[in-house]
Structure 1
Amino acid sequence: MNKKNKTFLVPKFRFPEFLNAGEWEEKAVSEVFKVTRGEVLSMTLVEDVQTIESPYPVFSSQTKNGGLAGYYSNYLYEDAITWTTDGANAGDVNYREGKFYCTNVCGVLINESGYANLCVAELINSVAKKYVSYVGNPKLMNGVMSNIVIPFPAVPEQQKIANCLSSLDDLIAAENKKLEALKAHKKGLLQKLYPQKGQNIPEWRFPRFRDAGEWEKKPLSSLCRVTQGGTPSTSVPEFWGGNIQWVTPAEMGKGYNKYITNTVRTLTDEGLSNCSSELLPVDSVIVSTRAPIGLLSINKKPMAINQGCHGLIPLLGYNTDFIFFSLEIKKSKLNDIGAGNTFKELSGSSLKAFPITVPELPEQQRIADCLSSIDDLIVVENEKLKALKAYKKGLLQGLFPTIEEVTE
C-alpha cells in the first residue's frame, strides 16, 4: 500500500487522547486471533432460563435475543468474538463477554492480549457480509474469515471505542426492553378487553359498561362494506403516476405504525377507473388477503388498493380502530381460512362472513382509545430505537476507517 493510501487508516472521529496516536494497522484476522469453531450441542440439553446448574449462555445462529439459544452446564470459551458460519445469518459477528458455549454454526476468534472486544467485533462485522458465499446455503467459513484484512488501532484505543459502543448498546437494549414490555402489555390488554373463544363478555370491562350486557357476534359484512382491490394495466403509462395512493401487501406491516399515509406507486384518475379497486375513504381498514394474509393498516388519505388487499369501510355505528384491533387479535384465524396450498388466498366471501363480536359504539370507542394510546407509545418507543440505531451506525462510520478507503 502506498503512502497516499495509508492516510486513510485514520478515522474521521477520534478521542482526544489518541489524536496523535498514529495510523491504524492493517492485519489479517488470523494474525491476531486463533480461529476456531463451536461444538455440536443438542438443544434438549439447553435450559430456557439460567440456573445454578446451567449458568452458561449458549449462542447459536439465530438472531433472536442476540443469538442466545439458552443456558448449559458447561462452557467452551471466555471473552471471545463469534460469528455465524452457516445459514441466513452467516457473517453476523458479536463479542461475547464472560464464559459461554457456542454451537457448531458459530466460528470463534480467541485472543488473550486484549483484542477480543466489542470494538474489534464491530470492525469485523462491518465487512464480514462481503465475504459470505451465497452459492447454495450462505457460508462464511473459518478459512475465509482468517484471511479478512481489517485495520486495528492499538488496544487502549480499541478499549476506549469498545466502552463507548457498550454504553450505547446498553441504551439500545434498555429501549428495546421498554418496547417489548409495551408490546406484551398490549397483547395482554387485547386478551382481556375482548371476549375469549366461546364467550360474549370480556374478562375486563370499563366501569361504565359493566352492566351493558353481552356483546353480539356478527359477520364482518354487518360492520363494514367490504371492497376488493385491483391493478390497472401496467403497460399503459397514463394509468400511473397520478395523485391517488395505491396500497399493496408489500407496503403493509412494516415497522409498527398501523397507519399508511404514502405508497410507493400512485394511480391517475384514469388508472383507478380502469381497475376493480375503488377509492377508499380515510379511516378505512385495509386487510391483506394474499400471502401474507392478515396484515392490517388504516389509511390516513383516500387510497386505492391492489388485488392482494380488501378494504373495509365501517358502517354507521362501528369504530374503525375497534374493527382493526378485532382483526389484529384474530390474524392467525384469518390465515387459517385462506384457501390454497402453494399460494394461499382469503376470498372476499370468506372475509365478509368472518365473525366479529361487538359491543355498542360507546364501548367500542373506549376500547379503541385505550389500545390506540398504547399503540402511540409503541410507535414513539420504536422511533427512539430506530434513532439510536441510526446514531450508532453513523458513529461507527466516524470511528472506523471505511473499508472502501482502506482497501484502495
Structure 2
Amino acid sequence: MTINNNTPNIRFNGFSGDWVEKKLGDIANFSKGSGYSKSDLISSGHPIILYGRLYTKYQTVIDKVDTFVNENKNSIKSQGNEIIVPASGETAEDIARASAIKQRGVILGGDLNIVELSNAYSSTFTALKISNGQSKSELSKKAQGKSVVHIRNSDLQSLLLDFPNLEEQTAIGNFFQHIDETIALSRSKHKKTKTLKKSFLNKMFPQAGKNQPEIRLKGFSEDWVEKRLEEVVEIVGGGTPDTTNPEFWDGEIDWYSPTEIGKKVYADKSVKTITELGLQKSSAQILPAHKTILFTSRAGIGDMAILRNEAATNQGFQSFIAKDIDVYFLYSMGHLLKEYALEKASGSTFLEISKKQLSVIEILIPSNTEEQTAIGNFFKQLDDTLALQAKQLKALENLKEALLAKMFV
C-alpha cells in the first residue's frame, strides 16, 4: 500500500481519503476556567477538575471526577465534550496534553484552557491528537516560562492538526478510549496487589513487643525467636578497582553499584564488569548466587535484590549471605531492615550504615525453617504476580504508543 503524509499507516476498514489539516482556532471556541485551588477541596460536594490532575493523572477522556468543592455562584461548568489543557505547570512536557470532558456540570477550575469544538470534530480524537506525536512537540515549544511554564489559548489556536471525517475520528477515539480503560484497569489491579502485599508485610511479621505475627500460615504456632543479624547471615562489603587501570575492567565478573538495585527482586546482570585481576587488586569479593541479598548501605540505604549469578559490588553495599535463614524470607522482611538502617545511619557527606551497626540488628524469625520457607514462598508468589502485572501494563502502554504512531498522521 502506498502511504503519503496525509494518511496514517494503519486504518480501520471502510475509511479512505486524505486527512485534512485544520488550524484549531478555526474549528473551536476558547475560554478559561475560573477560581479554586487544592486548598478548596473537600471530601464531598460539587465535582471539580483542577489543572494539576491533567499531568499527574493523565486521561484522554475524563468521565468520572473524584475531587469536590463547595460551589461558588460564578463557577465555570462543563457542558460535555469540551477539551481542557493545563495553562501552567512545572515543565512544557507536563502541560502539553489535553483531556476530553464527557460529563456535564463539572466545575472547571482556574489555570485550565477550555476548547469547545464545532460539531464536526470529536473531542476524544482531538485530545489524543494534541497530546501525542508532532502536535505535542509543537505545543511544548509554544510553552513559555522558567520555574513555571504557561500555555495560553492563543498557543492552542495556532496549532495545526490533521483530521479525517467525523465518523473516522469517532472510531479512532473510541478505540483508544478502550485501550486507556484497559490500561487503567491493569494499573488498578497492580496497585491493589501492591496494597495487598503491604498489608501482609505488616501483619505477617510481629509488631514491636510481640513474638508472633497477627496473621499466621496454617500449621505453625511457636513463638518467633530473636536473633542478631550476624547470627543468620554473613555480612560482606564491596570495593572498587582502580578506575584508571583498563586491566581491571570489562571482564567476566559482574560488579554492581547501588543505583542498579531496588526496582527488581533479582539482580541478573550488572552494568559494569571487572576482571579477575581487578577483583584481586580491590576489596571487592565474589558473592554466591541465590544465597546473597545485595543491601545498599549508602545514599539510597536499604535497597535490596537477590543475586541470581555470582558477582561483586562496590563499597556502597553491605550484602547478606544467608547462613541459617531462608533467603526469600529475609528479602521479604527487608522493610524492617531498611527502617533500622535508616534510623542508625550517620554521616556528614552522605548517610551510611556500617557492617558493625548491621551486625547487631535484632530480628525476630520463626525457629522452624519450614515456616520461614513458607512465608518466603508466599511473598515470592505475590512478587511474581506484581512482576507479571507490571510486565503486562508496560506491554499495554507500549502497544498504545506504537498504535498512536501508526494510526495518526
The answer to whether TM tops 0.5 is yes
**1:313 to partner: Cα distance:** 0.7
Q: What is residue 100 of structure 2 aligned with on the other side?
A: 95
Q: What is residue 275 of structure 1 aligned with on the other side?
A: 282
**Partners of 1:238 and 1:326 in 2: CA distance:** 39
**Partners of 1:29 and 1:341 in 2: CA distance:** 56
1:395 aligns with 2:387: no
1:363 aligns with 2:371: yes
Q: What is residue 239 of structure 1 aligned with on the other side?
A: 248
**1:330 to partner: Cα distance:** 5.2
Letter in 1 for 2:102: E
Q: Does structure 1 conserve the Cα–Cα contact (< 8 Å) formed by 2:293 and 2:307?
A: yes
**1:102–1:364: structure 2 CA closer, same or farther, 3 Å change rule?**
farther
Secondary structure at 2:95 match in 1: coil
**Partners of 1:193 and 1:230 in 2: CA distance:** 36
Secondary structure at 1:203 match in 2: coil
1:385 aligns with 2:393: yes
- Map Cα deviations across residues 2-58 of structure 1 (whole Å, 9 max, x no partner): xxxx93121001111212xx222223333333344444423233134xx4x334454
**1:218 to partner: Cα distance:** 2.9
**1:134 to partner: Cα distance:** 8.5
**Partners of 1:344 and 1:114 in 2: CA distance:** 60
Q: Does structure 2 conserve the Cα–Cα contact (< 8 Å) formed by 1:60 and 1:102?
A: no
The range that moved more, 353-362 or 258-267, is 353-362
**1:14–1:240: structure 2 CA closer, same or farther, 3 Å change rule?**
same
**Partners of 2:54 and 2:177 in 1: CA distance:** 21
Q: What is residue 62 of structure 2 aligned with on the other side?
A: none
Q: What is residue 354 of structure 1 aligned with on the other side?
A: 361
Secondary structure at 2:209 match in 1: coil
TM-score (norm 2): 0.85
**Partners of 2:309 and 2:342 in 1: CA distance:** 27
**Partners of 2:31 and 2:337 in 1: CA distance:** 47
Q: Pick the aligned partner of 2:207 from 193, 196, 217.
A: 196
1:139 aligns with 2:149: yes
Q: Does structure 2 conserve the Cα–Cα contact (< 8 Å) formed by 1:38 and 1:105?
A: yes
Listed as ranges, the gaps of 5+ residues in structure 2 are 60-64
Structure-to-structure mapping, 1:252-331, within 5 angstroms: 252-254=261-263, 257-283=264-290, 284-315=292-323, 317-329=324-336, 331=338
**1:31–1:230: structure 2 CA closer, same or farther, 3 Å change rule?**
farther
Q: What is residue 3 of structure 1 aligned with on the other side?
A: none
**1:395–1:233: structure 2 CA closer, same or farther, 3 Å change rule?**
same
Q: Pick the aligned partner of 1:373 from 381, 389, 397.
A: 381
Letter in 2 for 1:207: K
- Map Cα deviations across residues 179-212 of structure 1 (whole Å, 9 max, x no partner): 11111111111111101122221011123212x1
**1:112–1:28: structure 2 CA closer, same or farther, 3 Å change rule?**
closer
Secondary structure at 1:358 match in 2: strand
**Partners of 2:344 and 2:116 in 1: CA distance:** 52
**1:41–1:25: structure 2 CA closer, same or farther, 3 Å change rule?**
same
Q: What is residue 86 of structure 1 aligned with on the other side?
A: 89
**1:295–1:161: structure 2 CA closer, same or farther, 3 Å change rule?**
same
**1:267 to partner: Cα distance:** 1.6
**1:242 to partner: Cα distance:** 1.6
**Partners of 1:54 and 1:341 in 2: CA distance:** 50
**Partners of 1:105 and 1:275 in 2: CA distance:** 57
**Partners of 1:306 and 1:250 in 2: CA distance:** 11
Letter in 2 for 1:278: Q
**Partners of 1:292 and 1:102 in 2: CA distance:** 40
Q: What is residue 42 of structure 1 aligned with on the other side?
A: 37
Letter in 1 for 2:408: F
**1:156 to partner: Cα distance:** 1.9
The range that moved more, 154-163 or 289-298, is 289-298
**1:139–1:32: structure 2 CA closer, same or farther, 3 Å change rule?**
farther
**1:64 to partner: Cα distance:** 4.7
TM-score (norm 1): 0.85
**1:166 to partner: Cα distance:** 1.0
**Partners of 1:363 and 1:323 in 2: CA distance:** 12
1:206 aligns with 2:203: no
Number of matched residues?
A: 386
**1:102 to partner: Cα distance:** 4.5
**Partners of 1:222 and 1:203 in 2: CA distance:** 25
**1:393 to partner: Cα distance:** 1.0
**Partners of 2:359 and 2:145 in 1: CA distance:** 45
**1:30–1:227: structure 2 CA closer, same or farther, 3 Å change rule?**
farther
Q: Pick the aligned partner of 2:174 from 141, 147, 163.
A: 163
The range that moved more, 216-225 or 372-381, is 216-225
**1:140 to partner: Cα distance:** 4.3
**Partners of 1:324 and 1:165 in 2: CA distance:** 40
Letter in 2 for 1:198: G
Secondary structure at 2:161 match in 1: strand
1:118 aligns with 2:121: no
- Map Cα deviations across residues 68-121 of structure 1 (whole Å, 9 max, x no partner): 772234463343333343115332433333143444454333324253523222
Letter in 2 for 1:195: P
Secondary structure at 1:241 match in 2: strand
Q: Pick the aligned partner of 1:151 from 133, 156, 162.
A: 162
**Partners of 1:330 and 1:80 in 2: CA distance:** 51
The range that moved more, 338-347 or 258-267, is 338-347
